[in-house]
Structures are given as structure tokens and as C-alpha cells.
Chain A
């Protein structure tokens, strides 16, 4: 990045709330149905129909607000945002302007140096999603799919507190993790359940006043968020350094070309003519209701992370990784319940072998072929010396392929560790007598040869001999020769 400039970023995150029906109608919100099969008369904006607020959406919004320590709007109002577009069937979007359901709150993010930074949340408000315009499917025509119209959205607006693309990604990830912990959004960025718009500006370092911002849209992954911001920052700096001026506009990110470009602005200055929607009453929320929702909050990622560090002794790094997904943390805790003493072993296997295998097969941890219980049982076999860590990898692979439980696989494949002293001594004797030259070298002071003997013995035992015992007995034997 060019020096002398400071980047200022604010994010607007649209999280689709995981209600089963829409925010103002009874139609289903399920993704992927045939176009216009999940749009009722209300979603189609037919004459005479009226919106009725889905209380579940309000509860979810409050849940989010409580989780970020925000003020909850005791009286929030729905407004109409008027504009014409075919995927907005009523000619207005029902949103919230002056009195949102969630007021000022904050989110902590971890910077690379390990410090914590507080990012302000300006507000979060409820609104309805628009339908989709399908421009490519029909020659010379645009198709309109109103299935998505009326899906509840929580628009989470941050303060312009982020100073780099990395910080913006850390913030977005934090919100993403949080809404999934709260079970208010499925977080699926590909399907558009979680969308980030970034307001990006630059200013000379030390300047108090904000630069002119561009709003970046159409970003559907965290990787693209980082790239889009970095591209835009460079574009703005180059533009200014070349004597140009940044204009306030909306820019689309093109992930194929890796660039942002200006959206053709049809309406130069959009006047949305907001006014309170006369079809909906103000939403009144009591302290008791807020408190009741607070009681339903799960343990939040930050609390969980602290607990893992303080009570289970996990490293900051591992605790953070485990808690960044509620499903992974749930898996970890389920497994831990079977074997409370094995936390470090568990973490290593979950973040190591299991994550690797899941990634390779493109699976979520919820659909892992190896359940938390199965994994724990295998780790217990390591702990009680039935198998070694190395053999465990073979057992893990077999479990992954569905060959059964750890015990069944150890049994059927004969992987049980040899711990019988006599049997190991027999192997040692065989190796020693087969390699007289190496014995002589050892006796001449070449201690490194110990490794050669261990290797030979393990090979003879097909890896099943207990390595600790092999070491000890071998040393005794060689010294007594």
C-alpha cells in the first residue's frame, strides 16, 4: 500500500434471518425453489394486500442486539423506501429509517499483532429483501423471480472504524460467526444469505475529515471482500495522486476480472421519499421481553474462547480456531464430554486430521462420517497404549471410510500395540543377531545407531510395538552385551 494514506472502511452487512416464513407474509423463505413459487399475493404486491409483521424476525434482531450489547429500540418504526424497480413489487421497500430495532453496539476484533480493537456498530434494522432480476436467462428480456422478495433481512451498519481490508474481513467474520452462533442466519454467502457492502475511502494520514467514499457491492466471500477493498483503495489513491477526484458512487466488484467498476447510475440522485408505513404499527418492546430473549442467548464465541483458554488450558490460537464456528465448537464439546481429560489431544485431531479430511471432501463438520464419540474412543485407545499415534492415523482413515469403530478396526486389522516385554525382547534379539556390524559400530561409540535398531524393530512389528518400551528394552540389551 502506498504510504502517506489512511484507509477508512465501514461495512453494511445484510444477514437474511432464518425465519421459516417471510417478514410480512406467510410464504416460505426456503432457498432454491422454482421461480415465483414461493411468492404469495403479499409478496407479489397485488392490490389490496397488507403486510403483517413476523414476530420471529423481531426476536432474532433483538437477539443480535443483545449479543453485541446494543441499545434495543423500545419503539421501532417501519418506513417505506420508495423506488421503482421490477424486483421491488410494491414500488417501495419496507425498511426502518429513524427508529431501528437495534441501536448503538460494538464488536471486538483481534488484530494480527494479537491486540483487540473495538468496532462500533451504528445500528441494525429490519427490512425486506427484494426479488431477483434474471438478466441472462431470457434473450432481450429480464426475468423476475420474487421468491426472495419479503425475506427478512437484518442490515447491520458499522461505524467507519476499520483501517484495512484485513480489519474489515476480521469484523465481517466476527459478525458471521456471531449470527450463526445465535442461529439467526445460516451465513451462506454463496446463496446470498450473508452479504457485505463496503464503504471505502482514503485520506492523507493525519487528516481528520473523511474522504469521499465508494460503496462496493456484489461481494460474496471474505476473500473477495479483502481483494475488492484492496483494489478499491489502490484505485482511489492512484486517482487522487494523478490529480483526480473520487466520486461518491456504487461500484460492483467483479471477481473474475478482479476489479470494481461503476454501476451505471440510472437515477442520479435517488430520493427515496421515506415515510412511516401506515399499514404497520410501531413495534413496542418491553424490558421483560428483552430480558427473556437475553436468557435464550447461547454461550457466545468470545466467552467460549476465554473458557477454553482459562479452564481447558488451550492456546489462544487453538481456542480461537475452535470457536470460530459454532459447529466445530459443538463437536469439540461433545467429544470432550466422553473423555474430559483429553482436551489437547482432541484439539490436535479436530484441527488437524479431521479438518483436513473434511476440507478434502468438502464436508461440514455436522456431516463428518466420524462422530465426536467415535473420534474420542479412538483417542482413548492412544491414551491407554492400545495403539500408537501413528497407527491411529490408519484407524482414522478406516473409520472415515466407514469400516467401523476404532475398536472394531483395531481388532479386524490386528493393529493392537505389542506391549508384552517378552515379545518385544524376542524382536530385539532377532534384530541384534541379524546386524552384528551395526552392533559393533554402536559399541564403538556411534550412538546414532540406536535409531537404526528402533526402526528395524518397529518394521519387524509392523509398527505395532510400543515405541517407548522398544527404546528402553533395546538400550538395556545393547548395554548388557
Chain B
């Protein structure tokens, strides 16, 4: 059965249970299932119970916030003061940050309880959670399948009901794609909405943090707590954050929903397409106006993304040099040896591949042809969306071209792995908000539907998603986890 954050919140308010009780309950479930699912890298039982005790005191005094006492899990990419932040890399296996990411700090202030740090693709690079130093993660709907990535641990934990909500980061689809494959709800906000301070950087101009939960309503609550300008992140945007919960129940009759033909073309699995079509019919029933649109430059997003993201990562990961923190090779003979061996030993294959691609793309003589060109094309992709939003309020498409694939199936074929993000990448290139919600099933595996909003219009997609979830129960389906 599904217990939402909203329900937990009511139960805590009505004193049906305490935060310590529900925290213990989730910790027990984690203890029971983590061995199979492997969605947590660190389980912070002691800290969680301490935080729960403090939360219960605040709740008793009436000084809590809406999220006080709610247990959640954090992707192991957010720096947590005193708790290991590994980014699922051998490189950071011994790294304990002396500070909290802004997102963590904000949740701490809200009074949430941290259950632990979740598994992920190493340094957020991957779409299957198979690139983890701590092993791959099982999809709770079918352990032989991947949960998606890179925030696969968070998505699997929520799907398996080991946490009612979790955080993730999304650089090319890393929240939306695992949300889709695990049958839960996840949102990536507009670039600049959430502070990146304390998030171990992969693609700085692309990534945003966002929440996973069972419902759009819960996502609204979690996103509320994460959002806002942060003077420590120059790219966070200094503008007021609306109350995301306020407009959830607005009528969506007359809402103009655009269907980009490029996202319903070749490559989309026909069964997935059918599920999305019935979801579209559902939106029609809710009064939405469905409009065909075109985003002509979407074919560029994969090549553009795989220049920009690796270029940024090649530079961002340079600080992992074995000198001040992280993995250091044994007995280096000189500086070059220290660098070479520490990095060769510390990084996994996919990370090395992207560092190589990015280094190449930024090299003298190639910069103009790759990086500069990619930035120009990136503007074209953005313009496509700007034009589309002159016509429609929201854009709808599948989140992924197929259901969760088998573990091991694509790991040797990076290009086919990269294609998993074909519908999600362009939002990161454009900086737009997007979310994935459960839309039905194919082969007993969940299918996700993506809603794309205009800049800073998270409220609008949350509203559309909530109305859809009021009318359907796909999001309430629970995998049988033994």
C-alpha cells in the first residue's frame, strides 16, 4: 500500500504515530530489502532516529513545519556534514564533507529526517545505475531490470516504499527517467530554481536537484523546501518561489497541451506509445486542449548534450586528483604517477569515457568544432521550446522510449544507453522544468509520462500532474517486493 507524505503529515499532526515510529518503520524496511535492491549506499539509522526525536519535540510544541518528522532519503551526490558523500565512486569512498549542501540544509531546517544516502550512477553519469562502485540497483518491479539512472537508488527506494520521498539530481534525465522506470513521480525544476551548492558537480550548466515521491502533491511539498535563491550559487535565480501546493487543484479545462511530433516518432516502443495515448485521452477528458507541435531541432540534443556535459565534467572532476581528499594511489613515485594512478584507480569506465570525450572536445583545434558549435546548437534547441510555449501551456511526451531494460543489457553499448535519455536531455539543455508521472504499464512494468513546463512554471505542470493523478491510480500501484 502507498503511504504518501501528505498522509504521514496528517498522521503526525493528529498524533496517530510519532516521527520516531515511522522512521523506525522505514529503517526496518530498508534493513529488510536493501540487500536485494541495493538502493542505499549509507543508511544513517542513528542520525535518523536522533532527528526524529528532535522532530517529535518540535511537533509536540507546535513549532514544526509541514515536513517536520517526515523521513526521506538523499542521493549520495549531496554533501552531508559528517556523513560520507561518495557519489557512488571509489574516488570519494572515503570522503566526508565538512559542510551540508544547501538542499540538505534546507531540509534540515524543515525538520525532515534523513534515512540515508542512496545509490546512483558514479558521479551521476549513467541511465541504469549500473555505473556504481557500490554495485547496481534492482528495479523493485522486476529485480532483473534496471531502475534507471543516475538517481536510480532514490527512485528504487521510493518505489519499493523504503522511503516516502527522496532527492535526486537531473543533468540529462536523471530524475525523470528513473521515476518513469520505477513508476513514481519526479520533478526537475527550472535551472536556477534550486541551489547547486554542495552537489558534487558533473554538468554545471545542466543539472538541477529535485524530488521523487508517489504523488505530484508530495513533490510540490518537497520541491517547496528545496527551492529558492542561494547567495552561494551564482546560477541560482533570485526570484520569488510560488507556493507549489496552491494551484494543484486548479481546473485544467482549456489547458493547452502540446504533443511534439519528434517525440512520438521512430524509436518509441509501440506499447509505450499506447500507454501514452490513453494518458492523453485522460487529459482530454479533463478538458485539456491537445495540440500537435513541432520541435524541429530535437535530433540535435543527444550530440549537443554529449559534447557539453562531458566538457564540463572533464573540468569539474579535475579536483579529484588524489592530493587533498578522495582516493590516493599507494606509494606514488612522482606527481604525475600520483595523478595518473589515483585517477585511473578511482574513476569507473563511464566516468573515464566522459572525461576523455570532454577533454577532447575542449582541446585546442577542436574547441570551435565541438564545444562552441554545441553551444550554438543549444540555443537552437532552446528557441524551439520558446516558440512552442508561445502556442501551448504544457508539453507532453513519453519520458523514455521504452520500459526498464534488463540489467547488463546495454552496459556494453554506451550509445544505446545514451538513447534512453532522448526525450529528457533537451530540457536540461534549455533549462526547462519537467516531470515524470506514472501513466500505465507495459509488460507489467511502469511507463512514465513527461510533462514539460515553461520557465519557472513548475506550478503548472504540478497542477496538470495532480489532476491526472486524481483521475487515475497508476501512481498508487505497488510493486510486490519480497
Which residues of B have CB within 8 Å of A44?
324
Given A52-B232, A275-B367: A91 and B99 interface contact (C-beta under 8 Å): no
Q: Is the interface of A mostly helix, strand, loop or mixed?
A: loop
Residues of A within 8 A of B201 (CB): 47-48, 50, 279
Q: Are A84 and B87 in contact (CB under 8 A)?
A: no
Give the contacts of B50-94 with A (CB-CB under 8 A).
Answer: 78-79, 85, 87, 92
Nearest CB on A from B320, distance (A)? 8
B197–A271 contact, CB under 8 A? no
| A80 proximal to B (CB < 8 A) | yes
Q: Are B97 and A281 in touch, CB under 8 angstroms?
A: no
Q: Are B235 and A273 in contact (CB under 8 A)?
A: no
In the complex, the answer to whether A90 meets B364 with C-beta atoms within 8 Å is no
Taking a contact as CB atoms under 8 Å apart, the answer to whether B234 and A51 are in contact is yes
A144 at the interface (CB under 8 A from B): yes
Interface size for A (C-beta < 8 A) is 29
Proximity bits, B190-204, A CB within 8 Å = 1, else 0: 000000111111001
Given A50-B234, A281-B235; A273-B323 close (CB under 8 Å): no
Mark the stretch among B266-274, B298-306, B311-319 that contacts chain A: B311-319
Chain A residues with CB under 8 A of B418:
none
Whether, in the assembled complex, B461 has its beta carbon less than 8 Å from a beta carbon of chain A, the answer is no
Docked complex: A47-62 residues within 8 A CB-CB of B = 47-53
Q: Does B362 contact A (CB under 8 A)?
A: yes
Residues of B within 8 A of A275 (CB): 311, 315, 362, 367, 371
Query: Are B335 and A91 in touch, CB under 8 angstroms?
Result: no
Interface centre among B233, B314, B323 (most CB of A within 10 A): B323
Taking A271-B363, A278-B205 as contacts, is the C-beta distance between A46 and B325 under 8 angstroms?
yes
**Contact status B359-A273, CB under 8 Å:** yes
By CB atoms of chain A within 10 A, which of B85, B197, B318 has the most?
Answer: B318
A47 surroundings in chain B (CB, below 8 A) = 79, 85, 87, 92, 95, 97, 200-201, 319-320, 325
Hey, which chain A residues are within 8 Å of B318, CB to CB? 82, 84, 90-92
Count of B interface residues, CB-CB < 8 Å: 44
Q: How many Cβ-Cβ contacts under 8 Å join chain A to chain B?
A: 100
* B264 at interface by CB-CB < 8 Å: no
Cross-chain contact of A50 among B232, B312, B314, B371 (Cβ < 8 A)? B232
Q: Does B339 contact A (CB under 8 A)?
A: yes
> Which of the residues B95, B98, B315, B367 comes within 8 Å of A80, measured between beta carbons?
B315
Q: Which residue of B lies closest to A25 (CB)?
A: B232
A82, A86, A90, A273: residue with the most chain B Cβ atoms closer than 10 Å:
A273
Q: Which A residue sits closest to B196, measured CB to CB? A: A50
Beta-carbon contact of A89 and B79 below 8 Å? no
Instruction: Give residues in B with beta carbon < 8 Å to A.
Output: 78-79, 85, 87, 92, 95, 97-99, 101, 196-201, 204-205, 231-235, 311-312, 314-315, 317-321, 323-325, 335-336, 339, 359, 362-364, 367, 371
What are 26 sample pairs from A and B whose C-beta atoms fall under 8 A apart?
A: A41-B99, A45-B324, A48-B79, A48-B99, A48-B200, A48-B201, A50-B197, A50-B201, A50-B232, A52-B232, A52-B234, A82-B318, A84-B339, A86-B323, A89-B323, A91-B321, A92-B318, A144-B323, A273-B362, A273-B364, A274-B362, A274-B367, A275-B311, A275-B315, A279-B235, A280-B234
